[in-house]
Amino acid sequence: MGKRSIVLVALVLVALAALAVPGHSQSPVKIGVIEPLSGPVAASGNYVRMGAEIARDWLNAKGGIGGRKIELLIEDNKSDPKEAASAAEKLIVRDQVPAIMGAWGSSMTLAAMPKLQEYGVPMVVETSSAASITKQGNPWIFRISPPSEMEALGLERYVDKLGVKRADFLAVNTDWGRGSISAFGDMLKKKGASVGVAEYMEQSATDMNAQITKIKATGGDTLFLTTAVEQITLVMKQAQEQRLTRKIVTTGGSSSPTQLIKQAGAAAEGSYHIVFFMPWFPEAMPDGKLAKAFVDEWAKRGHPFEGLTEGFRGHDGIATIAEAIRIAGKDDPKAVREALWKVSVMGVNGPIKFEKDGPAGKESGQSKPSIFIVQIRDGKVALPDFLAKK
């Protein structure tokens, strides 16, 4: 026998051995993911995807779900509601996923919702904040991100400590921005603060000087800012140029304070930020060990640190779905939906457990996520000055 024949025989034996290895003949558990991976918010969508992939790999390392590996089927909704609906249809019908996580933006999520109802497949909403999502009477929706009202409630106890007497608003002209203004406005009025002007900026706008000039003229003491981190950077820089001197509080959790420090520099000094994850002090999170492990894994994969404030949502969404599939014992969408009501799992943000929300008889699930407030001081992210007096 020549050397070549030995190699051939060896290859055949290896191939037979590979076929014979047990456990790999089990089909994977497929979970659908719909995020904006291209278009203006591609960065955020990709961060969520990265977080989801970490959750998948961790779970698979521990044996997956009932011995079966998890496979993520990732679709791009291109920041277009029509695409979100098509992606949902494809995942449900062609790929037969038992559950989906998505779709980041509220309009995308709302567009996909009829498909969930049509085919009976549950979706875990990881980012969208529009109140209407859980009030539609769609029993296939389970949200782990806070609607704006919940966020505003989370800030309520700090309003006096912050010293907010007269607030103005500047928000991106989307459902998120508008919802935020309305929710925070109501909360502030209940606390006895007065509300000044509400200005808007288009999603793609880069020049907010006109709005800032108007806000400057109101004489308020606090500016509530709701938009994505890129626009926050621009607003802060332009506010600094116009010498706007008042407290700035960003809402919505997409402010990525680390990125702000890098790009806005001194303009961001002193600003407060409502976030749902504090990667700068993970030990302060409800499950400190899990949070720290997530931060470390994220860094290990070379992902940018500033993406952590959004990436954790992907992890928590997948962890929730995986737990539901485990409880259900099978990847049947209706069983997974019932199991979602029984889920009580610890995510990076904190405990995840769904309560009923919406019209009776067809409630959606809404969890109560933890809400934090941080401040940029001396070029670093820290606990706010009114809290850190120990």
Partner 1 sequence: MAELLQHLLNGLVLGGTYALLGIGLTLIFGLMNVVNFAHGEFYTLGAYVSFAALALAGVDFFAALAAAIAAGAALGWLCEIALLRPLRNESIDTTMLVMIGVWIAMQNAELLGWGGVAKSIPHPFPTAPLVLGPVAIAPLRLFVLVLAAGLIAASWLLIQKTKLGRAMRATFQDRDTAALMGVSIGRIHSATFAFGSGLAAAAGALLGPIFLVYPSMGDLASLKAFSVVILGGLGSLAGATLGGLLLGIAEELGAGYVSSGYRDAVGFVIIILVLLLRPSGLFARQERIA
Partner 2 sequence: MTRAGGWLVVVAALTLPLWLRSPYHVHVAIMAGIFAVLAMSLNLLLGYTGQLSLGHAAFFGIGAYTSALLTLKLEWSFWPALAAAVGLAGAAGFLIGRLALKLRGAYFVLVTISFAGVISLVSINGIELTNGPLGLPGVPAPELGPWTLRTKTAYYYLVLAAVALSYLVCRRLVRSRIGRALVALRENEPLAESVGVDATHYLVLAAVVSAALAGLGGSLYAHYTRFVSPEVFLFTYTVTMVIMVVAGGKGTLSGPLVGAVLFTVLPEALRAAASWQWQMLSYGVLLVLLVFFLPRGIVPKLAAAFPGRR
- Binding positions for partner 1, rule: CB under 8 A: 37-46, 173, 199-202, 204-211, 213-214, 217, 229-230, 233-234, 237, 240-243, 262-263, 265-267, 304, 306-307
CB of 354 to partner 1, least distance (A): 31
- Give me 15's structure tokens: 């191939």
User: Taking CB within 5 to 8 Å according to partner kind, which of partner 1, partner 2, none is near residue 271?
Assistant: none
CB of 318 to partner 2, least distance (A): 17
User: Taking CB within 5 to 8 Å according to partner kind, which of partner 1, partner 2, none is near residue 160?
Assistant: none
Q: Which amino acid is at 294?
A: F
Torsion, Cα 275 278 283 284, to 10 degrees, reads -30
**Of 173 and 370, which has the nearer Cβ to partner 2?**
173
Contact 55, 124 (CB under 8 A): no
**Of 224 and 354, which has the nearer Cβ to partner 1?**
224
> Which positions lie near partner 2, rule CB under 8 A?
37-38, 74-76, 78, 80-82, 85-87, 89-90, 92-94, 106-107, 110-111, 113-114, 130, 132, 136, 173-179, 200
What does DSSP assign to residue 83?
H
For 190, the 3-state DSSP assignment is: helix
Contact 312, 294 (CB under 8 A): yes
**Of 62 and 243, which has the nearer Cβ to partner 1?**
243
- Give me 213's structure tokens: 């000039």
Q: Give me the residues paired with residue 250 across strands.
A: 225, 273
CB of 15 to partner 1, least distance (A): 36
User: Taking CB within 5 to 8 Å according to partner kind, which of partner 2, partner 1, none is near residue 266?
Assistant: partner 1
Cα distance between residue 43 and residue 303, in whole Å: 12
Contact 364, 143 (CB under 8 A): yes
User: Taking CB within 5 to 8 Å according to partner kind, which of partner 2, partner 1, none is near residue 306?
Assistant: partner 1
**Of 47 and 142, which has the nearer Cβ to partner 1?**
47
Cα distance between residue 214 and residue 25, in whole Å: 65
Scan for tokens 């779970």, then name that residue: 59
User: Taking CB within 5 to 8 Å according to partner kind, which of partner 1, partner 2, none is near residue 386?
Assistant: none
CB of 46 to partner 1, least distance (A): 6
User: Taking CB within 5 to 8 Å according to partner kind, which of partner 2, partner 1, none is near residue 267?
Assistant: partner 1
**Of 28 and 265, which has the nearer Cβ to partner 1?**
265
CB of 349 to partner 2, least distance (A): 25
CB of 96 to partner 1, least distance (A): 29
Cα distance between residue 281 and residue 292, in whole Å: 8
DSSP string of 329-355, one letter each residue: SS--HHHHHHHHHH-EEE-SSSEEEEE
Half-sphere exposure of 10 (CA within 13 A, CB side): 7
**Of 95 and 269, which has the nearer Cβ to partner 2?**
95
**Of 97 and 261, which has the nearer Cβ to partner 2?**
97
With CA atoms as reference, report the closest residue to 58 among 353, 383, 318: 318
User: Taking CB within 5 to 8 Å according to partner kind, which of partner 1, partner 2, none is near residue 349?
Assistant: none
Q: Give me the residues paired with residue 283 across strands.
A: none
User: Taking CB within 5 to 8 Å according to partner kind, which of partner 1, partner 2, none is near residue 241?
Assistant: partner 1
CB of 371 to partner 1, least distance (A): 25
User: Taking CB within 5 to 8 Å according to partner kind, which of partner 2, partner 1, none is near residue 232?
Assistant: none
CB of 301 to partner 1, least distance (A): 14
**Of 175 and 316, which has the nearer Cβ to partner 2?**
175
Cα distance between residue 72 and residue 65, in whole Å: 13
CB of 356 to partner 2, least distance (A): 19
